[in-house]
């Protein structure tokens, strides 16, 4: 007959193992930078994440934030297991808290654009000297930082109005609230045609490495691998590519932290970008 203390130790061990099993993570948040409204992002991204969940066996739950500063604070705290973030965000949040590149949109390069109303007299950047330009947030890489850098390069004075999202920029310009605003081709392409046909692009930047899909540093490497494999598989299937088209992707490709060295070479500091942590 087993000693009573041994039975007690065995029971405690079983309870501990059961508790550890119950504590295992069963769902992983996938944070998406709020370039558009939360409802639009959810409509476009949720089917993609559902398909990746099915293929990988890793449940991915869509998440975003009410605005980009809140999204930035959550990245700084490492709250998202997976996150789709702009190139400048990746450079900052790779350094701390240590987000690691996983994938990015296949073949995509990021450019900033400046849009005006279709009937605007503005034809080039110098026509905007002294104007108040609309930007989504201070640290939006293509839509804000690249545009502002060009205005400064040309020694053009301007004022900045931050309106929270790319869609708000575009709508504000169409309504005549601002003479021009910053954006990126991807969000412009996804815009309601009733709005986009009222806009005209007057400037486009050079190309940089596009948005990162990255994971928090503590994420299980096996989970990373399963999700990446599912992304690569989805990039080969016509039905999955139709889903990806809704988020402006032609597929996925693996990514590495050094892919964003072109952004690092710009030497934009967090203070310049007014990242809110």
Average pLDDT, stretch 8-17? 44
Statement: residue 16 has pLDDT above 90? no
Structure confidence at residue 26 as a pLDDT band (50, 70, 90): confident
| Secondary element (H or E) of residue 85 | strand 82-85
User: Token pair 């020694």 is at which residue?
Assistant: 155
Confidence of residue 266 (pLDDT cuts 50, 70, 90): confident
Q: In sequence order, what are the residues at sequence separation of 6 or more whose Cβ sits closer than 8 angstroms to the Cβ of residue 61?
A: 27, 28, 29, 30, 49
The C-alpha angle 205, 210, 216, rounded to 5 degrees, equals 145
For residue 55, pLDDT over 60 is answered with yes
**Could you check whether 27-109+209-273 and 112-206 share the same CATH topology?**
yes
What is the reported pLDDT for 7? 57
Q: Which residue has the higher pLDDT, 199 or 165?
A: 199
Is 192 in contact with 165 (CB distance < 8 Å)? no
40 and 32 Cβ atoms separated by less than 8 Å: no
Cα angle 101-103-107, degrees, rounded to a multiple of 5: 125
112-206: what CATH class? alpha beta
Cα 70 from Cα 84, distance rounded (Å): 14
Residue 72: CB partners within 8 Å, gap ≥ 6? 89, 139, 275, 276, 277
Domain boundaries, the chain: 27-109+209-273, 112-206
What class has domain 27-109+209-273? alpha beta
Q: Which two tokens stand for residue 174?
A: 């169409």
State residue 100 phi and psi, 5-degree precision. -115, 135
Q: State the chain's mean pLDDT as an integer.
A: 89
Mean pLDDT of 121-133: 97
Q: Between β-strands 82-85 and 212-215, what pairing exists: parallel, antiparallel or unpaired?
A: antiparallel
Q: What is the pLDDT of residue 235?
A: 95
Instruction: Determine the average pLDDT of the residues in 260-270.
Output: 80
Helices (H), 57-212: 68-76, 87-95, 147-153, 166-174, 185-189, 193-196
Measure the CA angle with vertex 196, ends 83 and 273; round to 5°: 40
Question: Which residue is it, tokens 């900033």?
Answer: 112
Q: Is 219 helix (H, G, I), strand (E, B) or coil?
A: coil
Alpha helices (runs of H) in 77-220, residue ranges in sequence order: 87-95, 147-153, 166-174, 185-189, 193-196
Q: Tens of pLDDT along 64-76?
A: 999 888 999 999 9
**What is this structure's pTM?**
0.77
Say if residues 52 and 230 touch (Cβ distance below 8 Å): yes
From the list 210, 193, 221, the residue with the least C-alpha distance to 251 is 210
Closest CA to 161 of 174, 142, 148: 148
Cβ-proximal residues to 258 (8 Å cutoff; 6+ apart), any chain: none
More confident call, 18 vs 109: 109
How far is Cα 254 from Cα 103, in angstroms, rounded to an integer? 4
Burial class (CB in 10 A: 0-12, 13-18, 19+), 184: buried
**Residue 81 · residue 239 · CB < 8 Å:** no
């Amino acid at each position: 007959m087993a000693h009573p203390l041994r039975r007690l130790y065995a029971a405690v061990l079983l309870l501990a193992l059961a508790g550890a099993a119950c504590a295992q993570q069963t769902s992983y948040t996938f944070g998406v930078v709020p370039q558009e409204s939360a409802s639009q992002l959810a409509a476009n991204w949720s089917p993609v994440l559902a398909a990746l969940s099915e293929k990988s066996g890793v449940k991915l739950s869509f998440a975003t934030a009410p605005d980009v500063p809140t999204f930035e604070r959550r990245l700084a705290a490492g709250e998202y297991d997976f996150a789709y973030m702009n190139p400048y965000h990746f450079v900052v949040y790779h350094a701390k808290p240590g987000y690691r590149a996983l994938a990015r949109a296949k073949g995509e390069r990021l450019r900033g654009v400046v849009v005006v109303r279709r009937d605007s007299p503005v034809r080039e950047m110098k026509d905007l000297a002294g104007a108040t330009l609309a930007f989504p947030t201070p640290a939006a890489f293509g839509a804000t930082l690249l545009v502002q850098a060009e205005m400064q390069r040309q020694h053009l004075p301007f004022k900045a109005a931050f309106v929270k999202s790319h869609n708000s920029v575009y709508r504000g310009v169409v309504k005549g609230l601002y003479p021009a605003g910053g954006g990126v081709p991807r969000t412009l392409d996804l815009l309601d045609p009733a709005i986009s046909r009222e806009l005209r692009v007057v400037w486009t930047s050079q190309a940089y490495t596009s948005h990162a899909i990255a994971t928090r540093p503590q994420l299980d490497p096996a989970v990373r691998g399963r999700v990446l494999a599912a992304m690569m598989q989805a990039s080969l299937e016509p039905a999955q590519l139709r889903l990806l088209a809704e988020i402006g992707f032609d597929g996925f490709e693996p990514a590495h932290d050094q892919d964003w060295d072109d952004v690092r070479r710009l030497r934009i500091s967090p203070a310049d970008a007014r990242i809110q942590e």
